[in-house]
Amino acid sequence: MTVLDVRSLEVRRGGRTIVAGVSFAASPGEIVALMGASGAGKSTILRAIAGLDPIVSGTVAIPRPVGMVFQFHHLFANMSAHKNVWLAPVHVFKRPRVEAEERARELLASLGVGDRASAMPHELSGGEAQRVAIARALAIEPRVLLMDEPTASLDPGRRGDLATTLRSLARDGRTIVVATHDAEFARACAHRVLAVEAGRVRDVS
């Protein structure tokens, strides 16, 4: 059974082809790593899957909503970590406010940042901000979670923790696609590694 199916994906930006002929699929509970040097097209593939960049040709079949964790997190600067997490459940999915706030607190606690709920984004460390961003993405209950360069803001010790976290999220049945240039991290957490080179992918696991 596949939950994510990408076929012959082509993306252009400013008249230049960034990604062409990319096809891959992922099943529930699977972690797929897109690995490659910077500029290879990893982020572009994630953005196209998330619907942020238009697709020139090809298809992306994915259940919405899609969870996305950006390299620089992009937590909303004008609200607390807690509100960052409950904002979409309340305003997009019309969950009762009390319930959404409670669920957000649980998510933050499960990711180890329960005590940082009232902090503003600029007061968080890189690792804390990343875990809040994961909580925010999970709060809308996506079946697929996309992560762009998640190890960029982490020191080596924290990378192992992140791999563990992603493994446990996958065990709950979520599909995770991680774009990374960190081969060690990719091997440590992914079930399958796809090499991205010059806008194309190739299975190397």
Partner 1 sequence: MTVRLAALACLALLAPSAAPAQSPELRWGGDAEGGAPYVEADPADPSRVVGFDVEVAQLLAAGLGRTPRFVQVGFTSIDAAATRGDFDVGLSGIEDSPARRARLAVTIPYYEFREVLTVRASDADKYRSLGDLRGRRVATLGATLAYDLLADAQARDGIIPVTYEDDVHPYSDLVLGRVDAVVLDAILAQRGVRRNAGLTNQATPLAVGHYVGILAPGAAAMRDRMNVILRDAMRDGRLEAILERWDVWNEDQPRLYARVLTDASPYPVAASSLSSEAGPSSSGTDAARSLSAPRTLDAARRYLPALLRAAVITVVLSCLSMALAIAAGALIASGRIYGAAPLRIALTGYVEIIRGTPLLLQLFVLYFGLAAFIQLPAFVAALLGLGLNYAAYESEIYRGALEAVAPGQLESARTLGLTERQILVLVRAPQAFRLALAPMTNDFVALLKDSSLVSVITVVELTKETSIFAANIGSWVLPGLMCAAIYLAMSLPLARVARRIERGWRQA
Instruction: Judge whether 68 and 50 are in contact, CB under 8 Å.
Output: yes
Element (H, E) at 101: helix 97-110
Does residue 74 belong to the site contacting partner 1 (CB under 8 A)? yes
Q: How far is the CB of 112 from partner 1 (least distance, A)?
A: 21
Q: How far is the CB of 111 from partner 1 (least distance, A)?
A: 17
If one asks whether residue 65 binds partner 1 (CB under 8 A), the answer comes out as yes
Considering only 39, 61, 76, 173, the residue that binds partner 1 (CB under 8 A) is 76
Report the residue from 16, 78, 171, 172 that binds partner 1 according to the rule CB under 8 A.
78
Residue 87 near partner 1 by CB under 8 A: yes
Tokens of 23: 């096809």
Instruction: Phi first, then psi: give them for residue 46, nearest 5 degrees.
Output: -60, -45
Least distance (Å) between residue 159 CB and partner 1: 23
Q: At closest approach, how far in Å is the CB of 157 from partner 1?
A: 27
Residues from 106 through 125 that contact partner 1 (CB under 8 A): 120
Whole-Å CA distances, 139 to 15, 78, 107, 147: 36, 19, 7, 15
- Give me the half-sphere count of Cα atoms (radius 13 Å) on the Cβ side of residue 176: 31
Among 13, 91, 97, 202, binds partner 1 (CB under 8 A): 91
Instruction: Sketch the per residue contact string, 12 through 51, with partner 1: x for CB under 8 A, - otherwise.
Output: --------------------------------------xx
Distances (CA, A) of 192 to 76, 82, 97, 111, 202: 32, 33, 39, 24, 11
What is the Cα–Cα distance from 77 to 9, expressed in whole angstroms? 33
Residue 140 as a binder of partner 1 (CB under 8 A): the answer is yes
In angstroms, give the least distance from the CB of 149 to partner 1.
Answer: 13
> Closest by alpha carbon to 148, among 195, 173, 122, 181?
181
Q: What residue ranges bind partner 1 (CB under 8 A)?
A: 50-52, 64-68, 70, 72, 74-78, 87-88, 91-93, 120, 136-137, 140
